[in-house]
Amino acid sequence: MLLYLPVCCPGADQPPVILVVGDSLSAAHGIDTEQGWVSLLDKRLQSRSDRYRVVNLSISGETTRAAVAVLDPALPKYRPAVVIVGLGGNDGLRGISLDEMRNNLAYLVSASREQGARVLLLGMRLPPNYGSYYAGKFHEVYKEIAAEQHVSLVPFFLAGVAEDRSLMQEDNIHPNAEAQPILLDTLWPYLEPLLAPGNRDAAGVPAASSMSESSELR
Give catalytic residues, as residue numbers.
Answer: 24, 171, 174
Cα 168 to the center of its chain, rounded Å: 18
Distance separating alpha carbons of residues 217 and 139, to the nearest angstrom: 17
Asked if residues 54 and 63 have their Cβ atoms less than 8 Å apart, the reply is no
Best CA proximity match to 215, nearest among 174, 178, 184: 174
State how far the alpha carbon of 63 is from the alpha carbons of 17, 51, 68, 91, 158, in Å. Answer: 23, 30, 9, 6, 18
